[in-house]
Amino acid sequence: MARAYVGLGANLGDREETLRLAVELLAAAEGVTVVGVSSLRETDPVGYLDQPRFLNGAVAVETELEAGALLEALLRIERELGRTREGPRFGPRTVDLDLLLFDAVAVDEPGLTVPHPRLHERRFALEPLAELDPALVVPGRGTVSELLAQLD
């Protein structure tokens, strides 16, 4: 059984309800058990700035799935909740589910890089992870607490 962490984000529609539904759908996915959910926080957009603020959080799961299969489950949930890939990169979205960490291992496959390549520089992702587990290690980078301290 692997422990994985999923970033949650939304900035269109009823953001809180969408993220609540995303967690429910993740918990209902075969081979996935939700073991922790951070609080949600409002954050400024990154990359593409001309868009509404985001609501962000994170979920800890235990899973029997491999990293690629978990990513596919996340993409299915995004589609089910109305996510499209149209518009600018980093643009507005109804929901965004990112596989941030997977069982303290590094994965580099076509379409999947874990830890998430920009995790160490994104406060909106690190803060909810620190809430779930401040000693959580980002492989090759340090603990989420250390990474947050470096952003100050």
CB 99 within 8 A of CB 72: no
Segment 85-109, tens digit of pLDDT: 777 777 788 999 999 999 989 999 9
Positions marked catalytic: 83, 93, 96, 98
Rounded to whole angstroms, how far apart are CA atoms 95 and 79?
A: 9
**pTM for the whole structure:** 0.95
Segment 101-141, tens digit of pLDDT: 999 899 999 999 999 999 999 999 999 999 999 999 999 99
- Which superfamily is assigned to 2-151 in CATH? 7,8-Dihydro-6-hydroxymethylpterin-pyrophosphokinase HPPK (3.30.70.560)
* Gap between the terminal Cα atoms of the chain: 35
Q: Where are the domains of the chain?
A: 2-151
